[in-house]
Amino acid sequence: MIDNFNRFVVPNLGLLGEGLWITIWICAVAFAMAVVIGAFACIVRVYVPFLRIVAVIYIEFARATPILVQLLWVNYVWPELFGFPKSVEWAGVIALAIQSSGYLAETFRSGIEGLSRGQVEAGLAVGMPRTTIFRRIIVPQVLLVMAPSIVNQLAVIVKASTLVSVIAIPDLMYDALKIVNQWFEPIEVLTFVAAIYVTTIYTLSASAKFIADRFRVKYGLSTYA
């Protein structure tokens, strides 16, 4: 097994590193887009009654459609209908962002609706504009309280990104499968790749939990020390 690792994994570390970099880039951009889109959809659903049905339809569509279907739909249908995306990488980013934005929109909504109504009323009582209340009272608490769920969605994006190889994005999984198909020795290669994903997701989760816990203590939302 060690011999096979030295024969099939070690010589291809550069290729796997390139694939890992593409995976990180796709996941980071997709997550950032998902946060923005999800927050917008949440705000529309909660605060814009005449557009609420549009936000609900989008959120349910994003959550109910399998990621594989969304990948194929964005990659093959969108260029014909809208003229973009121009590359498979951006197709993967958009598909991942669409699905995750639906889940994040619901995460943000549950955080907003879980806040005490008295905080908003207190802000109004002292003359704070609603936009200031939203920015300085609601948003910080929602982000801190829902941080574990938000980080969990980032982990979901990382795991779902393994499917972007089906539209020929040269990510980590795509490069790993290329090596396997060349030498027909899957054990060492795929085990190594699995270890990379486990390490990446654990590091993300542990780091985010550490930061979130410290901020909760700082703002009095937790007794953790």
pLDDT digits (tens, 9 = 90+) for 12-61: 889 889 999 999 999 999 999 999 999 999 999 988 999 999 999 999 99
* Per-residue pLDDT band at 216 (split at 50, 70, 90): low
Task: Categorize the per-residue pLDDT at 150 as very low, low, confident or very high, splitting at 50, 70 and 90.
Answer: confident
CATH number, domain of 50, equals 1.10.3720.10
pLDDT band at 218 (very low <50, low <70, confident <90, very high): low
Q: Is residue 223 part of a domain?
A: no
**Type of residue at 200:** T
Show the tokens assigned to 48. Answer: 């814009």
Answer with the residue of higher pLDDT: 146 or 154: 154
CA nearest neighbour of 67 among 43, 41, 34: 34
Q: Has residue 224 been placed in a domain? A: no
Residue 225 located in a structural domain: no
C-alpha distance from residue 21 to each of 28, 66, 178, 182 (Å): 11, 25, 16, 22
Say if 81 falls within a structural domain: yes
In which residue are the tokens 């003359």 written?
127
pLDDT band at residue 193, thresholds of 50, 70 and 90? very high
Distance from C-alpha of 163 to C-alpha of 56, rounded to nearest angstrom:
27
Q: Using the predicted structure, report yes or no on whether residue 144 has a pLDDT greater than 60.
A: yes
pTM of the model: 0.85
190 located within any domain? yes
Average pLDDT along the chain: 86
> Averaged over 105-111, what is the pLDDT?
89
How far is it between the farthest Cα atoms of the chain?
72
Is the Cβ–Cβ distance between 159 and 197 less than 8 Å? yes
The pLDDT assigned to 224 comes to 46
Q: For position 142, what pLDDT does the model report?
A: 75
Q: What's the total number of domains in the chain?
A: 1
Domain that holds residue 137: 2-218
Instruction: Report how far Cα 4 is from the mean position of its chain's Cα atoms.
Output: 35
Query: Sorting pLDDT into bands at 50, 70 and 90, what band is 225?
Result: very low
What's the pLDDT at 125?
78
pLDDT value of position 220:
60
SS (H, E, C) 109-131: HHHHHHCCHHHHHHHHHCCCCHH
Inside any domain, residue 9: yes
Question: Are 111 and 145 within 8 A, CB to CB?
Answer: yes
Whether residue 39 lies inside any domain: the answer is: yes
